[in-house]
Amino acid sequence: MPRLSALCCALFGLMAVAPAMASDSPAGIHHLNPAGLSKPTGYTHVVEVPNTGRTLYLSGQIALDAQGKLIGAGDFAKQADQVFANIKTALEASGASFDNVVKLNMYVTDMSQLQALRTARDKYINTRHPPASTLVEVSKLAREGLLLEIEAVAVVPQ
């Protein structure tokens, strides 16, 4: 009888969570926004990745073009566009796309530029199933003139 009770509790728990999981997400990845947490804006609280693919860890991308020239000096929106374009280039070089991104870590020097960041981000990410994300304001980045830096983690199915 204890086994049956445990099984019933487990099934009930799965049924309670199931509506918050997206069943049609790419590559079998599950996006979960559990009850009891606030409704996220442009990100997902939990991204579950089945252990069936390659994991890519992208270094923080900054607003440099292929020649190493700073793009958008003093212009957050232009820098954000360049950063996401750089992430796209790095993903494609590894056979991935933004649909494979499961986590973004974003560092900005001015949180008041959040809307510009979201506008650039939403041109690239899967907005129906956005990745888990962290956004942190920092006082300075590694190079003078940089306004943001973004790291990404992607999972590519085998």
**Alpha-carbon span 132 to 143, nearest angstrom:** 26
Give the residue among 108, 75, 107, 100 at the shortest CA–CA distance from 153. 100
Beta strands in the chain (DSSP E): 30-32, 46-48, 53-61, 101-108, 132-137, 148-157
9-60 pLDDT per residue, tens: 333 343 333 444 444 455 677 888 899 898 888 888 988 877 778 899 999 9
Domains in the chain with CATH codes: 2-157 (3.30.1330.40)
- Mapped onto helix, strand or coil, the DSSP state of residue 87 is helix
What lies within 8 Å, CB to CB, of 77 at 6+ separation is 113, 116, 119, 120
The chain-wide mean pLDDT, for the chain, equals 85
Q: What is the pLDDT of residue 5?
A: 43
The alpha helices in 18-113, defined as continuous H runs, are 76-93
**pTM to 2 decimal places:** 0.78
Q: What is the pLDDT of residue 62?
A: 96
The neighbouring-strand residues paired with 105 are: 134, 151
Which of 5-14, 52-61, 110-119 has the weakest average pLDDT? 5-14
